[in-house]
Amino acid sequence: LGKQDYKKTRPMLRATRLKAEAKKTALGVKEVALVLAAILVFLLAFYAFFYLNISNEVDLDLDPAEN
């Protein structure tokens, strides 16, 4: 609250202060996007790890003499 607020009434000052506090504590779009991107990267890495493990096991199980 700056010097320009000296003409405002008490309820207006309180509303301005509450609005400023809400703005400070609110989650931003950037933070939410970063968390979602991190979860997506983790899930893709998890999926790729198991996909590569399973595909390697399938290759090992194939017997070249069967074909």
Side-chain half-sphere CA neighbours of 57 within 13 A: 6
pTM assigned to the model: 0.48
Q: Which two tokens stand for residue 8?
A: 């405002």
pLDDT of residue 57: 66
33, 37, 17: which is closest to 25 by C-alpha? 17
pLDDT of residue 14: 84
The string of pLDDT tens digits covering residues 7-64 is: 667 788 888 888 888 777 667 778 888 999 999 999 999 999 988 888 776 665 555 5
pLDDT of residue 22: 75
Contacts of 17 (CB under 8 A, 6+ apart): 1
Instruction: Give me the residue spans of the domains in the chain.
Output: 1-66
